[in-house]
Amino acid sequence: MNLSYVVVAPPYNPDGGGAIFLHELAYALDDLGAKVKMWPVHNPAPGHPVAWVKAAFQHPSLLWRGPWFAFAPGRKLPLAKPDDLRKSVVIYPEIVLGNPLKAQKVVRWLMYRPGLLYPYEFGPDEMFFRVGEMFDLPEVTGGAPDLFLWKVNPIYRNEGRKDRSGACFMVRKGLEKPRIAETADAIQIDDLSHQEIASIFNRCETFYSYDEATFYSQYAAICGCLSVVIPGLYPSREAWVSEHELARYGVAYGLDDLDHARATQDRVLPLLQAKEAAGLDTVRNFIALTEARFGGGEGRTDIAAKT
């Protein structure tokens, strides 16, 4: 049985990690031959995900008015309608509370650890996938399989500048952490565009991230900026890396880990490129597992094996 999928997502936003991941999943499913549509969600309060969790599903008739729903450049997929929900597997991100679309087949994609920053509400018969181990909630999911689609934005590259000075920092999901002295006079890059951030990474000596899971830590390292994560969630670097594989190289976990970040900085880009290539395999596995769960069989190998 060939399943169809509906990905619940806000408009594509090149500066929003969650939107990028949701869209990339839909595009990857389409590229692998699966039938996929998108359920467009309008975010009434950008930067506050809980707002669209609570409000975005209240007026579905408004979703198809006007061309506001953006896709990635060069991509476009059909938008789902209510009739599609009955027969399709609906994919929600972890921040959607409950099952507002009343779907019968639900996949929950954990792109951040539920409950760590935002509340969560899952149904009894959902199927779970995770971007990485640090985003899982195994006591609820039973141990979710991986589903990731890391994409390296080519705008981030080391310009080889010799006149670096100063520091920059990002808060994002580290809002509750106390600020350290090193960021007192630094440039805050939250909400800047990729082009602006890449330029700053190439001008500054050091980047501090209060968010322990943002991809910008790797982007800083790619640009030759010393990348430092401000600890708080884990007792040691080893514990942090055990759940965040992409941070293995080029990123310091705290101010006493700078030597490691410097020594391994040139290994960040190859690791990300390998991870990018592996992402499509996780989508193939996603198709096979959802076919086995919701399709009444062991899955369609013609789609799962398609290149």
Is a pLDDT exceeding 50 seen at residue 290? Answer: yes
Per-residue confidence at 42, pLDDT binned at 50, 70, 90? low
- pLDDT digit string, tens, across residues 182-234: 999 999 999 899 999 999 999 999 999 999 989 999 999 999 999 999 999 89
**How many C-beta neighbours within 10 Å does residue 256 have?**
10
Q: CA dihedral defined by 100, 132, 292, 99, rounded to 10 degrees? A: -10
- By CB atoms closer than 10 A (0-12, 13-18, 19+), residue 119 is exposed
- pLDDT digit string, tens, across residues 270-280: 999 998 889 99
- Report the pLDDT value the prediction gives residue 306, as an integer from 0 to 100: 44
Cα separation, 145 vs 9, whole angstroms? 21
Q: What is the mean pLDDT of the chain?
A: 87
Right CATH number for 4-149+274-304 from 3.30.1490, 3.90.870, 3.90.120, 3.40.50?
3.40.50
* pTM confidence score: 0.73
Do 201 and 243 contact (CB within 8 A), yes or no?
A: no
Domain ranges of the chain: 4-149+274-304, 167-263
- pLDDT digit string, tens, across residues 102-153: 899 999 999 988 988 788 899 999 999 999 888 899 999 999 999 999 888 9
DSSP collapsed to 3 states, 270-306: HHHHHHHHHHHHHHHHHHHHHHHHHCCCCCCHHHHCC
